[in-house]
Amino acid sequence: MSGNLTQKEKTLLQDLQKHEEVCIKKYQEYAAKAQDPALKQLFNQHAQHEQQHFQTLGQILNGQTPAMNQQSGQSSQQGQQVSQQQIYQSGIMGNQQDAYLCNDLLMTEKYVSNTYDTAIFEFRDSNIRQTLNHIQKEEQQHGEDIYNYMASHGMYNPQSSRS
Give domain status of residue 161, yes or no: no
Q: Which domain holds residue 136?
A: 2-66+80-152
Residue 122 sits at the vertex; the CA angle it makes with 112 and 77, to the nearest 5 degrees, is 45
Residue type, 40: K
Asked whether residue 162 is domain-assigned, the answer is no
| This prediction's pTM | 0.81
How many domains, in total, are found in the chain?
Answer: 1
Whether 18 maps to a domain, the answer reads yes
DSSP string, 33-96: H-SSHHHHHHHHHHHHHHHHHHHHHHHHHTT----HHHHHHHHHHHHHHHHHHHHHHS-S---H
- Cα–Cα nearest to 145, from 89, 80, 64, 68: 80
Mean pLDDT, residues 121-140 taken together: 96
Q: What is the pLDDT of residues 60-95, one digit of tens each?
A: 999 987 876 544 444 444 445 444 545 444 444 458
CATH code of the domain in which 32 resides:
1.20.1260.10
